[in-house]
Structure 1
Amino acid sequence: MSKKILLNLVLSVMLLGGCASQVDVQQEDEVNQYEGDPKDPFESANRVMWDFNWEVLDQYILRPITVAYVTVMPQFARTGLLNAANNLEEPGNMVNNLFQGKVDDGLDSMARFLINTTVGLLGTIDVADKIGISRKRESFGEVLGVWGSDTGPYLMIPAYGPSDPRSLTGDVVDGLYYPMAILDGPTTVLRYAVSILEGRASLIDQESQLDQAIDDYAFVKNAYFQNLEYRVTDGESGNKAIEQDDLDDFAEFESMLDDMEPEDNNE
């Protein structure tokens, strides 16, 4: 199982886990929404792969290794390794930001790489963040989305997790950027291992919410596409949804107040 499935699972919980009071309603919507989903023409095969990834690879391999890693590895070492792994992505973040016309974000990404690689001891210390230069992560898959490319069909890949043709293409291109393209085998393995373990560790405390889903496959798929849209629109899709919910709540509240007003009795 790779970094991809972990990040998507974590984001699934983060995006949908905050609505605990509406869990039952949302779960019913998930099941109904994705019956005959045109974005999931390979649903039968995808479900088999999901069960394999989650119930076999994760349960018997990844989760036990993650628990051991979190137990043995000191927090400062975990943070340093994750910072170094993330730092290797900064040149790609720079290019992908520039492809979208985000010049300032692209320059921030390059500044982060230069500062953290040097002053931050090969990226193990996120000095740039401490001085106010935050990470502006962008993938080439997001670039394609901004350029108008559709995701294509939903794919659940063995030992890789939720994906789609657009994201797969983006992952390939991201791997061609410096310094990814010149990393040796052991360094590449270490980078992926750290990202995978930290991603899975972030999910441990949230597992119960995924377990409560009536259809965990639909739960993850729903969150996966919401996350793609959220990232491509830089959060605008999520903000619109929140604004609409707020408007609906306000309308309901206003209606309740109207019902409470005393009637005028003019005789």
Structure 2
Amino acid sequence: MLLTGCAQVPPEKEDPRDPLQSVNRPIYDFNMDVLDAYVLRPVAVGYTKVTPQPVRSGLVNATNNLDAPIDATNSLLQGKVSNSGVNVARFLVNSTVGIFGIFDVASEIGLVEETEDFGQTLGVWGVSDGAYLMFPGYGPSTVRNASGDVMDAVVLPSLSLGTPVTLGKWVIKVLEARASLIPQEALLNESLDPYLFLKDVYFQRQLYELYDGNPPLPKVEKSTEEKANDDFFENL
């Protein structure tokens, strides 16, 4: 499959962020046309139909609570001491009063969740995105974020959680993530190039999260006339 997909990418679709597009595209097609169509989407739809919303909310709260120490660690590594403290407080409150995190009591008392991951930590430290990657069964990522995901999903949880708990948390996250995308499927399916659409959305979201919702505005190249005007006023 990968060999047949390695045809030359048309010049108009070349993207310096995506040097492996000729490999990524067939993996994307496999994810959408096989894994998602025949496995992930049907399971996610069945999950939402048979699982009552209060139960789903409790499972999501519990998995988020297990991630609170990871959020706190990454917040601290990014120099966000207050956010780290909030995440520690959330974990303590929800693990006790919230009955192992099933109920999000912390949010009710004003301790708002501050999610951070190691990919964002690397970005704060100045590590660039690296190449855009499409993983079978996992979806879009970059070299930096894939490295961060390994740290968040394997290294840090292994210090405190057993394998069954870690696996169960991962399954719930995958099902909820896929279920949340069902209302947005039309946007992807109706786009001229779903692969490019998903890639652009992914990079926009990563930039938004890296800068905590306040990404820098793109620089606009000034025209020759504007540069001349600037020079004129600077020399007055």
TM-score normalised by the chain length of structure 2: 0.84
Question: Which residue of 145, 155, 173 maps to 1:176?
Answer: 155
Does structure 2 conserve the Cα–Cα contact (< 8 Å) formed by 1:89 and 1:180? no
Partner of 2:139: 161
Partner of 2:108: 130
CA distance, structure 2, for counterparts of residue 207 and residue 82 of structure 1: 22
CA distance, structure 2, for counterparts of residue 93 and residue 75 of structure 1: 25
Question: Which residue of 64, 84, 89 maps to 1:86?
Answer: 64
CA distance, structure 2, for counterparts of residue 142 and residue 207 of structure 1: 27
Partner of 1:190: 168
Which amino acid in structure 1 is aligned with residue 126 of structure 2? G
CA distance, structure 2, for counterparts of residue 236 and residue 220 of structure 1: 21
**Structure 2 alignment gaps of length 5 or more:** 1-9, 221-236
CA distance, structure 1, for counterparts of residue 38 and residue 168 of structure 2: 21
- After superposition, the CA RMSD in angstroms is 1.8
**Is the counterpart of residue 235 in structure 1 residue 213 in structure 2?**
yes
How far did 1:163 drift?
A: 0.9
Which aligned pairs between 1:194-209 and structure 2 lie closer than 5 A? 194-209=172-187
How far did 1:171 drift?
A: 1.3
Q: What percentage of aligned pairs have identical amino acids?
A: 46
**Structure 1 alignment gaps of length 5 or more:** 1-31, 245-267
CA distance, structure 1, for counterparts of residue 58 and residue 11 of structure 2: 42
**Is the counterpart of residue 72 in structure 1 residue 54 in structure 2?**
no
Structure 1 segments of 4 or more deviating over 3 A?
179-182
CA distance, structure 1, for counterparts of residue 11 and residue 132 of structure 2: 14
Partner of 1:113: 91
How far did 1:176 drift?
A: 2.1
TM-score normalised by the chain length of structure 1: 0.74
Which amino acid in structure 2 is aligned with residue 225 of structure 1? F
CA distance, structure 2, for counterparts of residue 53 and residue 94 of structure 1: 33
How far did 1:228 drift?
A: 1.2
Higher relative contact order (CA 8 A, sep 6+): 1
